[in-house]
């Protein structure tokens, strides 16, 4: 057997009469990366993503938040501008992240324990770390 293919290099190409030519898309799919484990890449990304532990508030901090919520409840008609720092739990693993929002308060839903802003963002009262009036 010759290694240089000189015996077949100049032969004419024969198109198949039975099979239509494969589309470029299908040919490209043959060389696409093989993902043997579906979702594996997403799992790796989630595993390396940093999460923070929830802070335990002191009794004094809890009283301050409750006082701010009472003040907010008394002034909801004025749609006060608030800055709220809160914890967002991670649904996939322990911990979560902290976020700060500056927005106008719409109402407090005590039944669901949520603070609702004018853009309909809802924050759990149990996850609030700090509230300030602007």
What digits encode the pLDDT tens for the residues 15-73?
888 989 889 988 888 877 766 667 777 776 766 666 677 778 899 999 999 999 999 99
Return the CATH number at 92.
2.30.30
Q: How many domains does the chain have?
A: 1
Q: Is residue 4 predicted with pLDDT exceeding 90? A: no
pLDDT more than 70, % of the chain: 88
pLDDT computed for residue 93 by the predictor: 74
Tell me the residue range of the domain where 116 lies: 59-133
First-to-last CA distance in the chain? Answer: 85
**pTM over 0.85, yes/no:** no
CB neighbourhood size of 101 (10 A): 14
Average of pLDDT values for 2-27? 86
In a domain, 81, yes or no: yes
Give domain status of residue 15, yes or no.
Answer: no
In a domain? residue 24: no
């Amino acid at each position: 057997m010759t290694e240089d293919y000189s015996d077949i290099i100049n032969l004419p190409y024969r198109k198949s009469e039975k099979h239509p030519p494969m589309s470029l898309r299908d040919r490209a799919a043959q060389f696409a990366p093989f993902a043997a484990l579906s979702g594996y890449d997403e799992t790796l990304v989630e595993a390396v993503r940093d999460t923070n532990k929830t802070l335990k508030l002191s009794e004094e901090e809890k009283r301050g938040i409750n006082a701010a919520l009472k003040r907010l409840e008394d002034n909801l008609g004025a749609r006060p501008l608030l800055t709220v720092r809160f914890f967002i739990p991670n649904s996939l693993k322990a911990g979560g992240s902290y976020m700060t929002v500056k927005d106008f308060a719409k109402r407090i839903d005590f039944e669901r324990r949520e603070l609702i802003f004018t853009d309909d963002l809802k924050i759990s009262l149990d996850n609030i770390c700090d509230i300030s009036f602007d």
